[in-house]
Amino acid sequence: MTPTATGDVSDRPTAAIPQRRVVRERSVRRGRLGVAVALMAVCALGAVALFGYVSRTQPYLALARDVPVGAQLTAADLVTVHLNPSPGIAGVHHDQTQDMIGKYAAVALLSGTLLNPGALVDKPFPAPGEQVVGLSLKAGQMPSTPLRPGATVLLVSTEETAQGEPGAAAPTIRAVVVHVIAGPRDGAATVSVAVRQSDGPVAARLAAQGRLVLTLTAGE
């Protein structure tokens, strides 16, 4: 039997780990660590931005459902939405909810739109014996002075008289401004006015023909 050579294991040569591999593994670990740190920074910045956005928003009142003209506003008609304050927002703050409940819609209020305080009136609307007429007016058919709800105006007909008499007085209709919506062009607007029930059809016909001029009365 041939004897087998034995020796200390520590005396045996070991395979050397390539230096390049060690450096490469360290570089990979450092790269992954850098990516992780970058992702954490991005997430932190996103959280800060989101917090800043939420903290700047304000609660406004919007319509939860359609409200027809003349209907009394209830709490069920309203919902709270959060928006960034803007000079262009003509809305009602959530704190004014109780002040809005019980008022009457001067115009049709559509679901999903912001509640406009100018679209509400304190008294039942229209009053008994009255009609609401919408007038689509251009520049020159109304004063340049801003029209406000509650203002008393005169609707003057520009229609020629049946007799064609140049000195005949133009027919006039007394009305009260209910709501004003600025048009897409300068000077144009849609004006809702309340008139006597007997004057409603005449005012609507003249407005449709473009033969109506709105004038402010003294003191308005």
Chain segment 82-129, per-residue pLDDT in tens: 998 777 677 899 999 999 999 998 888 999 999 988 888 888 878 889
Cis before 18? omega within 30:
no
Report long-range pairs for 216-219 (Cβ below 8 Å, ≥24 apart): 216/143, 216/145, 216/147, 216/151, 216/152, 216/153, 216/154, 217/152, 217/153, 217/154
pLDDT for the residue 130: 92
CB 172 within 8 A of CB 156: yes
Task: Classify strands 104-105 and 120-121 as parallel, antiparallel or unpaired.
Answer: antiparallel
Cα angle vertex 115, ends 109, 120, to 5°? 70
Task: Classify strands 58-63 and 152-157 as parallel, antiparallel or unpaired.
Answer: unpaired
Cα angle vertex 135, ends 133, 137, to 5°? 170
Average pLDDT value for the chain: 78
Tell me the whole-structure pTM to 2 decimals.
0.54
Considering the domain delimited by 58-121, tell me its CATH architecture: Alpha-Beta Complex (3.90)
Q: How confident is the model at residue 162 (pLDDT cuts 50, 70, 90)?
A: very low
Taking the C-alpha atoms of residue 160 and residue 151, their distance in angstroms, rounded to an integer, is 27
Taking the C-alpha atoms of residue 178 and residue 180, their distance in angstroms, rounded to an integer, is 7
Per-residue pLDDT, averaged over 7-14, amounts to: 50
- Short-list 134, 132, 100, CA closest to 212: 134
pLDDT for the residue 75: 96
- Stretch(es) of the chain classified as CATH 3.90.1210.10: 58-121
Q: Which residue has the higher pLDDT, 55 or 71?
A: 71
As a whole-number percent, the residues of the chain with pLDDT over 90 amount to: 35
Q: How confident is the model at residue 157 (pLDDT cuts 50, 70, 90)?
A: very high
Q: Which amino acid is at 104?
A: Y
Residue 147 has pLDDT above 70, yes or no: yes
Q: Could you tell me the end-to-end alpha-carbon distance of the chain, in angstroms, rounded to an integer?
A: 130
Question: Residues 164-177: pLDDT tens digits?
Answer: 555 556 679 999 98
